[in-house]
Structure 1
Amino acid sequence: MEGYDLIGDVHGCGATLAALLEKLGYHQRGGVYRHPRRKAIFLGDLIDRGPRIRLAVTIVRRMVEEGEAHMVMGNHEYNALAYCHPAPRQLGREWLREHSPRHNRIIKETLDQYRDHPAEWDETLAWFMEIPLYLDFDAFRVVHACWDQELIDALERECPRGIIDEPFLCQSVESDTLAYRVLDRLTRGVHLPLPPGVEIHSGDGFTRRSFRAHFWAREPHTWGDVIFQPDNLPDDLEARELAANERARLPHYGLDQPPLFIGHYWCEGIPALPTANIACLDYSAVKFGRLVAYRWSGERRLDANHFVWVRVPQEEAARPRPWEIDFD
């Protein structure tokens, strides 16, 4: 083993994923992408939005089941599990995740692409339940959105190896439970609410009343010190002072801790490192950005030269189409 190739949010860009794996030196043998000296680690959010969701899931699932890759759960896998799971009677609704217009829109592409393959979708949901929420290899760590050691320790006591069970999933939709705090923090990160009446109208068509904050600023003072998303804060809110309760919600991942790999945050442009020991690998592939990998080979201090990516072109004819892929 030379090391690991960590790959960011795929969001249904299955053909692009195949092209990236080929670029990294993985090749199909027996229907599984393999590398002679490395393994892949996927940072979650395989599904939703993109044109080849089933292909993306098939590639990754086969790699994981054959021991060629690992994966952590993203918020979109969690959302799918809750969306498709009947709610306990005491909740007073039909599904764990309500089938609201917003939620319907997010999962629409996934359900459309699996509509003629219901058994495959059921198997995919069952596989999602086997995916851990985090990976700690001692030398480096992986989580979809935010590493919160206190919550990870609590999760480990309830669900060894970070793999949730059905009772934990059911508890996760009730905001006063440990399950809710764990799933929310590890797969969605920290969200700070905007002032009443203030909204962000995102490029993906959603209206948001909070913003995504990062967790590695040592002594943040303002909202601008912690915002981590493509959408700017309206007006002069970047200069707004962090309140004591807001600062208390932010865990801190220090430079003395092992390298950490995350996705989730819709970065844009050329991949860069926010700190010397943290790499975000979500570069908006499904928004015609980049599907990004980081080639880790044991280094304690990360190196931006180790990023590898494939662009996702808007022109249909220019999109990667590896002809050898035929999993249907």
Structure 2
Amino acid sequence: MEGYDLIGDVHGCGATLAALLERLGYRQRGGVYRHPRRRAIFLGDLIDRGPRIRLAVTIARRMVEEGEAHIVMGNHEYNALAYCQRAPHHLGREWLREHSPRHNRIIKETLDQYRDHPVEWEDTLAWFREIPLFLEFPAFRVVHACWDQGLIDALRRDYPDGRVDEAFLQQSVAPNTLAYRVFDRLTRGVHLPLPKGVKIHSGDGFTRHSFRAHFWAREPRTWGDVIFQPDNLPDALEGRELSTDEHARLPHYGLDQPPLFIGHYWCEGIPALPTANIACLDYSAVKFGRLVAYRWSGERRLDADRFVWVRVPRDEASRPRPWEIEFD
């Protein structure tokens, strides 16, 4: 083993994922992408939004089940599980994740692409339930959105490998539970609310009342010190000072910690390292950005030259087209 290739949010860009794996030296044998000396690690969010969701899931799942890859759960896998899970009677609603117009829109492409394959979708949901919320190797760590050591330690007491059960999933929709805090922090990260009446109109068509904040600033003072998303803060709010309560909500991942790999944050442009020991690999592939991997080979100090990516052009004719993979 030379190392691991960590791959960011795919979001249904299945053909692009195949092209990236081929660029990384993986070759398909027996319906599985394999590398003679390396393994892949997927950072979650395989589904939703993209044109080849079933293909993306099948590529990743076959690699994981054959021992050629690992994976952590993203917020979109969690959302799908909760959306499709009926709620216990005491919650007073039909589904764990309500079928609101916003939630319907997020999962629409996934459900559309699995509509003619209901058995496959149920089997896919069963596989999602087996995906761990974090991975910790001897020399590096992997989580979809945020490594919060306190919550991970609490989770490990009952779920040492980060794989949770149906009871934990059901508890996760109640805000006062450990399950809610674990799923929210590890798969969605830290969100700081905007002032009353202030909204962000995102490029993906959603209106947001909070912004995504990162967790590695040593002594942040303002909102601008911690914002980590493509959308700018409105009304010159970057200079607003963090309150005591907001400071308390921000975990800190210091430079003395092992390398950490995350996705989730819709970065743009040329891949870069936010710190010497953290790599974010979500570069907005489904928004015609880049599907990005980091080739880790044992280094404790990460190196931006180890990013590898495939661009996702808007022109359908120029999109990457590896040989067709027939899974049906």
- Relative to the length of structure 2, the TM-score reads 1.00
Listed as ranges, the matches of 1:25-174 within 5 Å are 25-174=25-174
1:324, distance to aligned residue in structure 2 (A): 3.9
Partner of 1:301: 301
Cα distance in 1, alignment partners of residues 158 and 220 from structure 2: 32
Instruction: Give a deviation string over 1:194-238, Cα, whole Å, max 9, x none.
Output: 000000000000000000000000000000000000000001100
**Would you say 1:290 and 2:290 are equivalent positions?**
yes
1:82 counterpart letter in structure 2: A
Listed as ranges, the matches of 1:253-268 within 5 Å are 253-268=253-268
Cα distance in 2, alignment partners of residues 223 and 176 from structure 1: 26
1:204 counterpart letter in structure 2: D
1:110, distance to aligned residue in structure 2 (A): 0.1
1:282, distance to aligned residue in structure 2 (A): 0.0
2:42 counterpart letter in structure 1: F
1:145, distance to aligned residue in structure 2 (A): 0.1
Instruction: Give a deviation string over 1:46-81, Cα, whole Å, max 9, x none.
Output: 000000000000000000000000000000000000
Cα distance in 2, alignment partners of residues 48 and 120 from structure 1: 16
Cα distance in 1, alignment partners of residues 73 and 126 from structure 2: 13
Cα distance in 2, alignment partners of residues 179 and 159 from structure 1: 11
1:159, distance to aligned residue in structure 2 (A): 1.5
Cα distance in 1, alignment partners of residues 290 and 320 from structure 2: 13
- Relative to the length of structure 1, the TM-score reads 1.00
1:296, distance to aligned residue in structure 2 (A): 0.1
Cα distance in 2, alignment partners of residues 220 and 266 from structure 1: 21
Cα distance in 2, alignment partners of residues 33 and 298 from structure 1: 22
Instruction: Give a deviation string over 1:283-317, Cα, whole Å, max 9, x none.
Output: 00000000000000000000000000000011111
Cα distance in 1, alignment partners of residues 268 and 297 from structure 2: 25
1:287 counterpart letter in structure 2: K
Instruction: Give a deviation string over 1:3-31, Cα, whole Å, max 9, x none.
Output: 00000000000000000000000000000
Cα distance in 2, alignment partners of residues 141 and 159 from structure 1: 17
Could you list the structure 1 runs, at least 4 aligned residues long, displaced by more than 2 angstroms after superposition. Answer: none
Secondary structure in structure 2 of the residue aligned to 1:157: helix
Q: Any gaps of 5 or more consecutive residues in structure 2?
A: none
The share of aligned pairs that are identical, in percent, is 86
Cα distance in 2, alignment partners of residues 218 and 49 from structure 1: 35
Cα distance in 2, alignment partners of residues 206 and 293 from structure 1: 27
Secondary structure in structure 2 of the residue aligned to 1:161: coil
Cα distance in 2, alignment partners of residues 188 and 91 from structure 1: 23
1:87 counterpart letter in structure 2: A
Partner of 2:314: 314
1:158, distance to aligned residue in structure 2 (A): 2.0
In the alignment of these two chains, the number of paired residues is: 328
Cα distance in 2, alignment partners of residues 304 and 94 from structure 1: 47
Cα distance in 2, alignment partners of residues 11 and 197 from structure 1: 31
Secondary structure in structure 1 of the residue aligned to 2:110: helix
1:160, distance to aligned residue in structure 2 (A): 2.1
2:94 counterpart letter in structure 1: E
Partner of 1:207: 207
1:32 counterpart letter in structure 2: V
2:168 counterpart letter in structure 1: F
1:322, distance to aligned residue in structure 2 (A): 1.4
Cα distance in 1, alignment partners of residues 222 and 324 from structure 2: 51
Q: Any gaps of 5 or more consecutive residues in structure 1?
A: none
1:327, distance to aligned residue in structure 2 (A): 1.4
Partner of 2:226: 226
